[in-house]
Amino acid sequence: MDVLVTGGAGYIGSHTVIELAAAGFTPVVIDNYSNSSPHAMERVRKILGSSVPSYGGDIPFYEGDVRDSALLDQIFEEHNIGAVIHFAGLKSVGESVSQPLSYYRTNIDSTLTLLDRMYAHRVLGLVFSSSATVYGVPEQLPLTESMPRRSTNPYGWTKVMIEQILEDLTNTQEGWNITSLRYFNPVGAHDSGLIGENPRGIPNNLLPYVSQVAVGKRDRVMVFGDDYPTADGTGVRDYIHITDLARAHVAALRHLDHPDVYKAYNIGTGRGVSVLEIIKAFSAAVGRDLPYEIVARRPGDVASCYASADLAREELGWSASLTVEDACRDSWAWQSNNPDGF
């Protein structure tokens, strides 16, 4: 089956393209490179070799914006698309606070355009890239899918709003088969060391920041607070290896057998890991202690956030199999071989 992957050249998208091909699907990718690189697709092709099930072992790729209806029509006409995995969108929490209109316009408009063209071509299977940000500030842990949706920033609200749109659509138009995957903290890289997270500017997330300290691009890791009510005083998050996350999309795609019922699943490990534990694990991967400095807490940070992933295990047959240590090892292989990214 051909699967349209929007944003397929990005960090999560590129790893998912690999897992789709390995599972016997043929990914068809659209990306405008606003937050990705053409080199990512070159590396993906190198990893896959000639193992893509059709199209002569290659990956069909379209450079363009998901808001381009004519381009989407072209893709649906040229390929036998059976389902869509929708990653495309802006994703920085901090940037969304300073540029809310851009986030609402890009993330929501792209989804509406995609849904409109999917319906026109009778492609009604969708796996949506959602986020744990839809839970807002945790009132109890672990977080479960039955908890209410809310957020604390425009990026998170776009995910909340899109999930509501998808649920409303499923309830009102027959035949839609839609699943949202709520990611926790994706980390790591492909074990080949050829692709990984490639942030522009100062990384927003912990592991790529630690990676850049390890490779010498930054002096030390800033640890924002060590007085939280956690085991070592530092913030605790649920870190999931990017390969496990990519495989969750394959599991969700295979489980698109619930027409007219909207589904959402947490995709995490179910275990919280502290900032200092991450630094320790990465230091072990590198073979030396990495410098860090304790500084003041950041406004808005919470002490702990981690998932219950029981529903994904029970209904999708998926669970995380890779560890934080695996993620640090693979991140270091990627970063040390590609100190400046792609």
Residue 311 in any domain: the answer is no
What distance in Å separates the CA atoms of residue 186 and residue 239, rounded to the nearest whole number?
Answer: 6
Six-digit token string for 115: 């849904």
Is 106 a residue whose pLDDT tops 70?
Answer: yes
What mean pLDDT comes out for the span 92-110? 95
CATH of the domain at 66: 3.40.50.720
pLDDT at residue number 159: 98
What mean pLDDT comes out for the span 200-220? 93
Residue 23 structural domain: 2-188+239-268
Is 70 a residue whose pLDDT tops 80?
Answer: yes
What distance in Å separates the CA atoms of residue 253 and residue 180, rounded to the nearest whole number?
Answer: 11
pLDDT at residue number 175: 96
Evaluate whether 98 touches 18 at the Cβ level (below 8 Å).
no
pLDDT at residue number 9: 97
Residue 332 in any domain: the answer is no
**Buried b / exposed e across 72-92, counting CB within 10 Å, b at 16+?**
beebbeebebbbbbbbbbbbb
Q: Which of 135, 155, 239, 265 is catalytic?
A: 155
Of the candidates 340, 210, 234, the one whose C-alpha atom is nearest the C-alpha of residue 285 is 210
pLDDT at residue number 50: 72
Percent of the chain past pLDDT 90, that is, above it, reads 92
Six-digit token string for 308: 């219950």
Residue 114 in any domain: the answer is yes
pLDDT at residue number 56: 65
| Radius of gyration (C-alpha) of the chain in whole angstroms | 19
Residue 273 in any domain: the answer is no
Residue 93 in any domain: the answer is yes
Is 251 a residue whose pLDDT tops 70?
Answer: yes
The tens digit of pLDDT for each residue in 133-148 reads 999 999 899 999 999 9
Is 10 a residue whose pLDDT tops 80?
Answer: yes
Residue 154 in any domain: the answer is yes
Residue 257 in any domain: the answer is yes
Q: How far is CA 54 from CA 82, 121, 253, 317, in A?
A: 14, 21, 19, 27
> Which residues face 208 on adjacent strands?
none
The mean pLDDT of the chain is 95
Structurally, the chain folds into a number of domains equal to 1
The tens digit of pLDDT for each residue in 255-309 reads 999 999 999 999 999 999 999 999 999 999 999 999 999 999 988 888 999 999 9
Of the candidates 252, 246, 253, the one whose C-alpha atom is nearest the C-alpha of residue 187 is 246
Where residue 58 falls among pLDDT bands split at 50, 70, 90? confident
Catalytic residue check, 228: no
What distance in Å separates the CA atoms of residue 103 and residue 334, rounded to the nearest whole number?
Answer: 30
Six-digit token string for 30: 């659209």
Of the candidates 323, 204, 227, 310, the one whose C-alpha atom is nearest the C-alpha of residue 273 is 323
Where residue 55 falls among pLDDT bands split at 50, 70, 90? low
pTM summary value: 0.96
pLDDT at residue number 49: 86
DSSP alpha helix (H) spans, the chain:
11-22, 38-48, 69-78, 93-98, 100-103, 109-120, 154-172, 206-214, 242-254, 275-286, 310-311, 324-337
pLDDT at residue number 46: 92
Evaluate whether 29 touches 86 at the Cβ level (below 8 Å).
no
Residue 94 CB contacts under 8 Å (≥ 6 apart), including other chains: 204
